[in-house]
Amino acid sequence: MLQSSAYILLLYRVINFFDTACTENDKCAFMQFKRLMKIEFSHKRSPDNVLKAEFILKSVSCVNMKSANIFICSCMVLSVYCGVQSSWHPFIASPWQTKYSRFSRVDQLEALRDAREMFYFAYDSYMNFAYPADELDPIHCTGRGHDHNNPGNININDVLGDYSLTLIDSLDTLVVLGDHVEFKRAVSLIIDSVTFEKNTTVQVFEATIRVIGSLLSAHLIASDKSLLFGNFFIPEYDGELLTLAHDLAARLLPAFEGTKTGIPYPRVNLLNGVLEGTVEETCTSGAGSLLLEFGILSRLLGDQTYERTARRVNEKLWQLRDPNTGLPGNLINIQTGKWVGYLSGVGAGLDSYYEYFLKAYILFGEPRDLQLFNEAYVAILANMRRGRASCSAHDGEPPLFVNVDSRDGSIANTWIDSLQASFAGLLVLAGQLEEAICQHAFYYAVWSKYGVLPERFNWQFKRPDVSFYPLRPEFVESTYYLYRATKNPFYLNVGREILDSLNSKTRVKCGFATVHNVDDGSLEDRMESFFLAETMKYLYLLFDEDNPVNIHQERLLFTTEGHIIPVLHKFREHSYVEADDYNKEDTKKGYRCRSLCSKLLDTTKLGGVIKSKRKALEYYEKIHSVRRCLMRRFGLLYSSNFDSHVLPVFPVITSRRCFLRRIFRYCYSSSTSSSQPGNSSIVVRFERGLPLLNVPLPSRQEPCQFSLRPLTDNVRGFCEQLQQEDRGLDHVALYTKDGVRIAMSTSIEHLLLFGEFRLRLNDKFYDVTLPAVNFDDFLSNDKMRHIDDLRATVASLHSCLCVDEYKVGRERRLIQQLEKAESELRPLHEKKLQIERDCDGARRACDVGRICNDGNTNRYFRTIDMVGIFLGYYGTSYIFCHLFHSHGRFRILSVYAPAFRISQSSRTGYDQAIL
């Protein structure tokens, strides 16, 4: 990449030769120049091509073309070559403005055709090679269904239930594409062949949003006599899809039975209900994102059972949120009602939970749903939002909603996941357009870097944490919402880039494959149903201005799976919200912030509808001012880049009297508050200073002793040791006592400092404890407090000095220097090898001459007149030497390569030729 000075110098050279005479081959030269432009715009930039461009430009004739036009092209191309995005000539528009400020109707129609072709390419491949299986394996062109041989394969079995999932999920996408013939055929196939009388265990959440949601959407479209979507009314249709949806929902209801909280089991067998040994932990969105589908079903059937069941789950989750922050965790025990995971964000595990509050209000008109969304959004603003206060401001870090600890709002990790990209679309529905634009811009930057969106991206280190991309639709969905709200052609250009990326990076023989690694572009043989149900649907709608869905967009709503639901009057006729579903006193008074800052805050009502954005921002600023006060009061670190982040410090002394932990209740507390099922315990013992533990291996059915090396190992190494010892371990992970998963990069030293942790082997948990140490015998409370303060100071200095970032940056620079040095030494090393080969050949020649001379002197070669001797590898050829015996002396006749041939001579004295 050239620097700006090189760009200016090269541009000056270009300007100079425009006034000079040019050759007659102007047209050919200009075509070469255009071809070079295409190469460069295909991201194959190189300094050599810059020199080629300069040379070709010198041969361009100024007679047949205006020099001004060539000058503009030159400036544009050279700017791209040099990587200077903002150093354009003052008479030329910005490339960003030129590229993204317009999107012609022709381009729009071309993109629409491409989107249509992509859908039918994948859909036809599924119908030809996979149907009636659930999914298509696009690389091997085969079908995929429920994995009956491996019931523990939840990655497959949670979704696939042997009911032609992709066909069901794609029904309303056929409506979007206007294909009424294929839609009617698909409806007929489903009615005739799909049944839920299956001995398959599926996830309640996935079966609801993918199958029930699609069946209800297709039912409303097929029975729509008003022709809202076009000619999709089926006269002979008699509600069979609604009957199928009702049948599946009834089979899911046993998941809600037998739980003390009313929160459903995450999985249920469609034939036998909840099986013995089913996991009793579920994610928040999995339990709290059923209201739309269950509510529509209840209002179509006139049966309140399903909607009230879903509403009671939502209200229970709402009551269990943390009283200090107003945030829920991401994982809960359905029997005890205690949080197992305290991670809180707007991504995986929580995204659709917030989404359905607002969409339920839009569809059903229940004020309670809007109230819950507004209160949740205030809590999200107060705890998760980091970066500058105003999205359009130029100072400060870009705004971002990060993952936090639901108990105190501190940053839990530094990654975001691809599911969070849908939050920008939800903000559009909520009227927070400026915030949505900024959130979308962040994810677009990540997409532009990799061509797809990695599953997890570390915003601190600017690299993926989890690198696969399963064709998810969330970023496309937000792009579509923002274009419908702003009509800015920028989002059409983004959609065009998405189409090109999907075609270039994921298209295979029979469809579109999952990207296994965004860095090297490797693929996995799977195409999930949401690619046709959501990704292609939103892409097609983005470019189709005249689509009935876009024309009647105020009357339609998309579920979290992208299924189209008309907002009908009959959905608002009756209210199914029970008075006992929530505490009216809590709603009236509003819950108060019951933390250390409650004395510093006025009574701030979070209950009720937030009537203006100004009040929400005032509350937001008040919360943060109190946090800053607390940080100054206790001498903790405050970072201006991330509005409020109390630095979590690993406790050196595992004592319940730790001053900071008693105040802030960090997740590394020694109290036993986990609700994960622990079946047995493991005690770490110390022998000769080395911590040892006996782990019962499930496949071998015997305990095996493992050592924990604090100074050299981390959690990843320990887990790999377990899996190497027992190949039957599919899942190994470590958790804190509060249920928070411990990162694989955590050192064993820090792990031992926790005092206690949990070890998960497949589906079984073990409580791992260390020998108890009574610090009160030799440390007073004042000394312990002093140690805690000292530790906090050291940790603050460690963070302020950016030691970890410096180490990473220093390591990166050293690696670059090493690679540069190796590239410089490579030609010298090759030259050295060449010299060694030359010397070796010369040495062999001298040895042969010496041998021949000795043979002549001592009369060894009496019967040999000519000798062909192989001297070995010399340079790049095989070298042979001919020796001629004449008058008692050997003379070298020839040295040649690469082949040796014997020529017969008529001269006397030649008797034999020996190789």
Cα–Cα dist 388/636, whole Å: 21
d(CA 148, CA 158): 12
Q: Is 805 helix (H, G, I), strand (E, B) or coil?
A: helix
Residue from 114, 280, 281, 474 carrying the catalytic annotation: 474
Helix axes 180-193, 240-252, angle to 10 degrees: 50
One DSSP character per residue, 517-566 reads: -TTT--EES-B-THIIIIIHHHHHHHH-TT-HHHHTGGGEEE-TT--EEE
Using alpha carbons, list the distances in angstroms from residue 870 to 844, 847, 874: 9, 12, 11
Residues 653 and 668: beta-carbon distance below 8 Å: no
Rg, the chain, Cα only: 36
Q: Are 717 and 725 contacting, i.e. CB atoms less than 8 angstroms apart?
A: no
Identify whether 474 is a catalytic site residue. Answer: yes
* 351 labelled catalytic: yes
**Structural contact between residues 271 and 198, judged by C-beta atoms closer than 8 angstroms:** yes
The amino acid occupying position 903 is S
Is 303 labeled as catalytic in the residue annotation?
no
Would you say 560 is a known binding-site residue? yes
CB-based contacts of 521, cutoff 8 Å, min separation 6? 505, 515
Strand order in the sheet with 877-886: 889-896, 877-886, 866-874, 913-914
Residues in the chain: 915
Nearest to 385 by CA among 393, 397, 375, 373: 397
Q: Is residue 135 a contact partner of residue 526, using CB atoms and an 8 Å limit? A: yes
Contact between 417 and 455 (Cβ < 8 Å): yes
Q: At what angle do helices 433-450 and 474-486 cross, to 10 degrees?
A: 130
Q: Is 395 among the residues known to form the active site?
A: no
The 3-state secondary structure of 104-144, one letter per residue? CHHHHHHHHHHHHHHHHHHHHHHHHHCCCCCEEECCCCEEE
Q: Which of the residues 135, 158, 162, 206 is marked catalytic?
A: 206
Only one residue has tokens 């180490």, namely 807
Q: Which of 158, 281, 307, 351 is catalytic?
A: 351
319 neighbors 249 (Cβ within 8 angstroms): no
- Burial per residue of 666-677, b for 16 or more beta-carbon CB atoms within 10 angstroms, e otherwise: bbbbeeeebbbe
Q: Spot the catalytic one: 366, 455, 477, 865.
A: 455
Residues annotated as binding site?
A: 560
Q: What residues form the annotated binding site for Ca(2+)? A: 560
Instruction: Give the residue numbers annotated as catalytic, written as ranges.
Output: 206, 351, 455, 474
